[in-house]
Amino acid sequence: MEENPFLNPDLDLQTRVDNEGNQPENGYAPIPIWKWIKLAIVGFLLMIFYIYNSHHATKALRNKERCIKELKNLHSKRISLESETSNSLKQSELSKRFQVIGLKEITTPPIKIVKPREQD
């Protein structure tokens, strides 16, 4: 069988040997320590991102709940103000307020003023 020229024996785990020339017992070479360090750094960064993301989501939910409560409170205030405004603009309420300052409601119908036509 021909040897594959594209196969790098340093990267092939089955043909890899240790410094003394012995093949490992299980057929796999140990992974160098720098690969473990890179894996640990990536894992640590993912863990930091996960913690940040969960804190950010919790904070956003708290903010959303606070805004919902405030919106409900403002909605009830708006309804009560609209009710007070519509109640205060009734004719009977207006006449009560005007009687206090000396004005009274007109009870007679208005008089229509007609300008006589000029005849030529």
Question: Where in the chain are the domains?
Answer: 33-90
Dihedral angle sign, alpha carbons of residues 15, 16, 19, 25: negative
Helix, strand, coil share of the chain (percent; to 5)? 55, 0, 45
At residue 22, the pLDDT reads: 58
Per the structure block, which two tokens stand in for 71?
Answer: 């919106």
At residue 6, the pLDDT reads: 63
Dihedral angle sign, alpha carbons of residues 27, 32, 36, 42: negative
Greatest CA separation found in the chain?
136
Whether 21 shows a pLDDT value over 70: the answer reads no
Task: For residues 80-106, give the mean pLDDT.
Answer: 89
Task: For residues 44-63, give the mean pLDDT.
Answer: 98
Q: Cα–Cα distance between 30 and 26 in angstroms, integer? A: 10
Check if the beta carbon of residue 105 is closer than 8 Å to that of residue 98.
Answer: yes
Check if the beta carbon of residue 9 is closer than 8 Å to that of residue 16.
Answer: yes
Q: Which amino acid is at 36?
A: W
2 CB-side CA count, 13 A: 3
Whether 29 shows a pLDDT value over 70: the answer reads no
Per the structure block, which two tokens stand in for 87?
Answer: 């109640």
Per the structure block, which two tokens stand in for 9?
Answer: 């024996």
3-class state of residue 105 by DSSP: coil
